[in-house]
Amino acid sequence: MTATLPPLAPAWERVDFLAELERREVRVPWNRARFSVRCPLPDHEDRTPSCSMSLVNGKWLVKCFGCDFSGDGIDLLAALDGMTSAEWCRIRASREAPLPVPVPARPRPPEPAFRPLCTPEELAGYLDACHQALLSGNDSAAARRYLRDRGLTDGAEIRAWRLGFGVSTKLPKLWCMQGRLVFPCPGGVEARAIDDAQPKYLAANLLTERKLPFALDQVDPERGPLAIVEGAFDAIALHRAEVQAIAVRGKPLASEAAARLRERGFTSGYISLDPDAERQAVLEVGRTLVRAGIAPYWVRGPQGVKDWGEVLTRSDEELLGAVAEGLVLR
Ligand SMILES: [Zn+2]
C-alpha cells in the first residue's frame, strides 16, 4: 500500500519561474511577459523558437508548438527536473517549510535564591576556635598525631593553612565536624575523620551554594602555574613544593570557582586528579575551565604513590623529585 500525499497547490508567488529557468541553463528574456524560446525539454530537438511562454494572472503558461507540451511553468520545471508536477511541488514545499517556531518557554518560577547560613564573621570565628583547638587543645592530641602521620609535622604549615580541630558550635551544619580535622574552604569547611569514622570526609557550605575548592583563595597567577588536584592534602603537598594547587574535594570543579580563577588572571590550569578518577570527571574539570576561559592541561600525576598527599611524608628532596616527575604534561 502506498500512501499518496495530496499534491500541494503550486505556490506561484514563491516560484521565480524565469530565475528557475536560468538556473537550468535556459536563456529567457527576463523583462517580458510573453516570448518564445527554443523548447528546453530534453526530448525535443527544437531548431526554431517554438515554445511559447506567457505570464497570465501571475502564472506562467507554456505551450510548445513543436512537441505539443502544454502546461504551466511548474509543469515545465518538473519535466525539466524529471519528475511529476506533484512531486516537484512537494519537494519544493518541504524545502520551503518554515522552521518550527520555537515555543516560548513557560516562565519558570525563579530558583530560590541562595541564603547564607551564617555571617562571614561567624564562620571565621568558628574557624579560629577550631584552629586554636588544634594547636593547643586538650582533646586534639589525636588530630595532631594524625597530621604528623600524614607528614604535616611543621606547625608553621598548619598555621599557614589555618587547619583546625572541630569544636562544638551552634552554627548549622558545623556541629557534626566536631572531633574532626577541619580544613577551611571558601564559604565552608571540609572535615576529615581522624579515626575510622565514616564518611572519611564531611563538607559543609555555609556562605556558598556549591563546594568551592580548598585553597581557592590562596592562589595567585603571579606566583606561577596552577594545578587542580582532588584532596586538601594533595594541594598542601604541591604548595610545599611551591606549586600552587586547589583541591576540588571530590566534586566537579564548580563553574563559579573557575570563573573566580579567571577573574584573578589565571589563563591555564594543570589537571591532576587521583589516578582512579573517572575519565569523565577528569574531562569535566577541563570543560569547566574552558568555559571560564582557562586552558586545561592534563599532567601525568604523582608516580609511585597513590596521590599527591602521600608525598607529604617523604623528604623534601623526594617530594620535589615526585613533583618534577609528575607535573609533566600527559
Ligand atoms: Zn517542445
Q: Provide the pairing of β-strand 295-298 with 268-271.
A: parallel
Domain hosting 88: range is: 11-94
How many other C-beta atoms lie within 10 A of the C-beta of residue 312? 21
DSSP label of 117: S
Distance (Å) from CA 78 to ligand 1 centroid: 14
Distance (Å) from CA 192 to ligand 1 centroid: 90
E strand or H helix that includes residue 164 = strand 164-165
The conformational region for residue 46 under phi > 0 = left, psi -120 to 50 = alpha, else beta, is beta
| Residue at 179 is within a domain | yes
pLDDT tens digits along 238-280: 999 999 999 998 778 999 999 999 999 999 999 999 888 888 8
pLDDT of residue 6: 46
Distance (Å) from CA 44 to ligand 1 centroid: 5
CA 308/CA 236 separation, integer angstroms: 9
Residues in the chain where the model's pLDDT stays below 70: 1-13, 97-105, 111
pLDDT tens digits along 82-118: 889 988 888 888 777 666 666 666 777 776 778 899 9
Same-domain check for residues 165 and 237: no
Same-domain check for residues 43 and 125: no
Distance (Å) from CA 59 to ligand 1 centroid: 19
pLDDT of residue 76: 95
Residue type, 203: A
| Residue at 125 is within a domain | yes
Same-domain check for residues 167 and 268: no
pLDDT of residue 10: 55
Distance (Å) from CA 63 to ligand 1 centroid: 8
Q: Report the CATH number at residue 79.
A: 3.90.580.10
Distance (Å) from CA 159 to ligand 1 centroid: 97
> Which grid cell sits at 89?
511541488
Same-domain check for residues 24 and 86: yes
Q: Reduced to 3 states, what is the DSSP secondary structure of residue 37?
A: strand
Same-domain check for residues 73 and 129: no
Distance (Å) from CA 46 to ligand 1 centroid: 7
Residue type, 224: G
Nearest to 89 by CA among 6, 179, 199: 6
CA 83/CA 81 separation, integer angstroms: 6
Residue where a domain stops, chosen among 181, 205, 229: 205
**Structural domains counted in the chain:** 3
Instruction: Provide the angle, in degrees to the nearest 10, between the axes of the packed helices 279-292 and 255-264.
Output: 50
